Amino acid sequence: MRPKIIAGNWKMNLSEKEAIALASGLKEKSSSLPDNKKAVVFPSSIHLASVARILENSKISVGAQNIYPAPLTAMTGETGPDQLSELGIKFALVGHSERRQFLGETSLFCNQKISYLAKHGFTAVYCVGETLAERESGKTFEVLKKQIQEGLGSIESDQFSRIWVAYEPVWAIGTGKVATPAQAQEAHAFIRKEISGLFQNGKTISDAMPILYGGSVKADNVKELLSQADIDGGLVGGASQKLESFLALF
């Protein structure tokens, strides 16, 4: 039985005061969250230390929005797993569409990140998804297949217990547009099948892997989305940045 997961991506939002207030509110309410759902928040890097301290020993985990796959080294502007481990952080997003679109992050580089994270005890949340032009031209599954094969193809099978996938159609992120439950389920089922084909025992791996949906997830659509057979949670943007709207997702 795969867990149900609500993950909040705060992106480059919230001041330090706002991030502390939100984390404090979440800490106060965390004991009332259902035991059958996992909760993770991904603050911007400048707020990670503050948020991690507040949410320590709560039911809400904290993750980084980005990570560089190396030990402490001369890499200006990046954050490494060793630094995050000091804060008790063991989750990281990999390959979010905004980093792919605007910062040139490739699936092959994501592969390096995922492998490094899994080997060092982190859970990597690997983001995949197609643009509107790719969907309208019938290339959705071609794009997803390439992203899965390049991003996960050389990962060792025993590392997959430390990997989640997030399907985020680029055309639905921050636009208010949401894939229908049927569209989202179709994509999730395809992703799970592609993962199962990576290894001889791949079905066992893919059946156990959480796959989240991201793209304008809100309280009024989350229940129907999560009722689909292959959708195990949501990677939520805007609705995760206010206490009431985030709690309403549970």
Q: What is the pLDDT of residues 141-171, one digit of tens each?
A: 999 999 999 999 999 999 999 999 999 999 9
Per-residue pLDDT band at 209 (split at 50, 70, 90): very high
Task: State mean pLDDT over 191-205.
Answer: 93
Strands (E), 1-79: 4-9, 37-42, 60-64
Q: How confident is the model over 63-114, as pLDDT tens digits?
A: 999 999 999 999 999 999 999 999 999 999 999 999 999 999 999 999 999 9
92: left (phi over 0), alpha (psi -120 to 50) or beta: beta
pLDDT of residue 178: 78
Determine which one of 96, 98, 105, 194 is catalytic. 96
Determine which one of 105, 130, 134, 168 is catalytic. 168
Q: Is 188 a catalytic residue?
A: no
pLDDT of residue 174: 78
Per-residue pLDDT band at 194 (split at 50, 70, 90): very high
Task: State mean pLDDT over 200-215.
Answer: 94
pLDDT of residue 248: 97
Burial classification of residue 156, based on how many CB atoms lie within 10 Å of its CB (0-12 exposed, 13-18 middle, 19 or more buried): exposed
**Burial call 172-200: b when 16+ CB within 10 Å, e when fewer:** bbeeeebbebeebbbbbebbbebbbebee
Neighbours of 61 (CB within 10 A): 19
Q: Is 96 a catalytic residue?
A: yes
Percent of the chain with pLDDT over 90: 94
Residue 177 has pLDDT above 90, yes or no: no
Token representation of residue 18: 């706002």
Per-residue pLDDT band at 199 (split at 50, 70, 90): confident
